[in-house]
Chains A and B, each alone.
Chain A
Amino acid sequence: MKVEDFVSYIDNVILKYRQLYKLIEIIAITLLIYTLIVFLSIDNLLTIVPFLESYASYSISLIITRIYFANIFLFFIAFVCAIIITLLLHRMDKKKDTIDIVEKKYPLLHEKLSTAYDNRDIENIIVTDLKNDVENNTANIKDTDFLDKKRMKLSLFLLVISFSLLFYVSISDYRIDTGSQIIDPLIPDIHDKNNIDIIENSTDNNLNQSQEELNSKPSVLVVEGKEVDLTLPPGSANGLNQNGFNNTSMPDNFKQSSAYDVKTISSSTYSENLPEGYENIIKQYFERMAHK
């Protein structure tokens, strides 16, 4: 093989191996970053990004599992970061000349290959002799000689480690809730108990008021000097609480009574504040309506 053909061939071989190293490193770094994202619960942050919040729960159903939009999005972020990191790590690669690599690997070709290559267009006795010398020395060089086994092993080791870490974090769901650490500075005093009460009171005022009334002393409504007992009938407080569940325990011998007696009850408002002169007529009307 001619010197220029050999250099071109080895250039392609080295390029091929470099791409292979890069690919493995990109995969390994992507997995590592994604593992870190999962471990630090950064996926929770998606819910505070208004644009992404609505997509966070979207999912794609595959044969055995379901992949959520949040996972895909974060994996993509990890992939982009991995590409950037890998490119930065390999930015020096192009500066290494193929001829330098070959000469370093084969001391017999040291300075000979570069000289023969630079003088490939010159024809004289010495240059021809040099080219023949180089061609003889390059005849036994194999492609695999340029595979950096140490680097390849390191890359594969990194890949296995990153894959194992991701597998462990995913299976064990071992993660740190850093989401709150990031959200806290954004929303000050979010974990202050008083503020939670304020928020709850302001957002669910009616519910809290009724809860307070249920748990406190029976309220009495005073209408024009007359006390009206507003105590709810027994059992009426045993519905769903604000969390949606009834967490009050019932005694075993408890029998649920009906909320109200099944009989006609006249409204005190109507019976006691009737216009003068029409009391009997109105009473009779309501009594008839009730018996009807």
Chain B
Amino acid sequence: MNSNEMNTENHLQTYRLANDIFNALFAEIGKVIVGQREYVEQIIISMICNGHALVESNPGLGKTLTISTIAKVMNLHFSRIQCTPDLMPADITGTNIIEEHGGTKSFKFQNGPVFANIVLADEINRASPKTQSALLEAMQEKQITVANDTYILDKPFFILATQNPIEMEGTFPLPEAQLDRFLLKIILDYPNFEEEMNIVDRYTKLQTPQVRKIMNKNTLLDLQKLTTEVPISDKLKIRAVKIIQATRQLTEHIEYGASPRASIGLILTAKARALIKGRNYVSEEDIETMTYPTLRHRIGLSFEAQRRGITTDQVIKEILARVK
């Protein structure tokens, strides 16, 4: 059996076990994270789409815990960057340091925190635009360049950036070009009463919940490949593109609409959701569900809409109702 046949066999095996893998993954993450099923699901969708996610939530909702748990369950290298205004690009990418061996001094590249499989860029809007842009190349090209040397990042590579919606003083809002590079914008809401009671019970004991490894890098890479292979009907594909185009045509509330990258993102995330749900085809429900996180950060509301307190989710809902 050659390597190609082996890959195909592994691929097939992953597909057969995909449903079990996802069930086990969610069950294991659920040991640590109470509720927030949709939030966890969307982070995993971003990962198996080989994209990045922007999470907006208030502090203390378990963003870091969630992403570190996912990294543990997936057996991936995890790093965290706490973004501050004085954070420099080299603090993210890494830098050349002088190393001495036997009296000979030489430069050695010291990897920055971006050299991981999962990177949590906490409060990304607190970093300076210069530092933010350092993440751009890493996000898009999956590589970084330091002192004319280019370094390829390990696969899979996933950035989860967070931002705080309430403390806007002293922040640098992400420019539209950079926002567009995030596949999804996930909004994490407060847990309900029962969930919060469960959280309190779980984290006021001496021992915190532990998780076991469910999968590895290769499984995740196989799942990424499988995601692209999930078929979608022409009808749904047309609807997805029409939804994106509607964001450019519905000028009543929208200042600027989504780019074709959003069309790719919507269809890809719908495929990933179908795979997670154990379906071998994309459903209309997948498209509708994934439209919200795909478009939230890609639509610029008009001043009038903002003044009237209209949210992007309301506009997306209106678009979904119009485009059938």
Contact = CB atoms under 8 A, between A and B. Distances in A.
Interface in A109-148: 111-112, 114-119, 122, 124-127, 129-130, 133
Given A111-B284, A112-B281, A130-B281, A119 B231 contact: yes
B176 interface: no
Interface residues of A, number: 16
B232 interface: yes
A189 B229 CA distance: 84
B194 interface: no
B15 interface: yes
Contacts of A129: 15, 280
Nearest to B15: A125
Interface string B1-19: 0000000000110010000
A126 B282 contact: no
Contacts of A122: 231
Nearest to B18: A126
B219 interface: no
A126 B11 contact: no
Contacts of B283: 111
A129 B282 CA distance: 14
B234 A118 contact: yes
Nearest to B235: A114
B8 to A, nearest CB: 8
Contacts of A112: 281
A274 B15 CA distance: 140
Interface in B201-244: 226, 229-236
A116 B281 contact: yes
Contacts of B234: 114, 118
24 contacts: A111-B233, A111-B236, A111-B281, A111-B282, A112-B281, A115-B231, A115-B232, A115-B233, A115-B281, A116-B231, A116-B281, A118-B231, A118-B235, A119-B233, A122-B231, A124-B229, A125-B15, A125-B226, A126-B226, A127-B231, A127-B280, A130-B231, A130-B280, A133-B280
Q: 3 shortest A-B CB distances, which residue pairs?
A: A115-B281, A119-B231, A115-B233
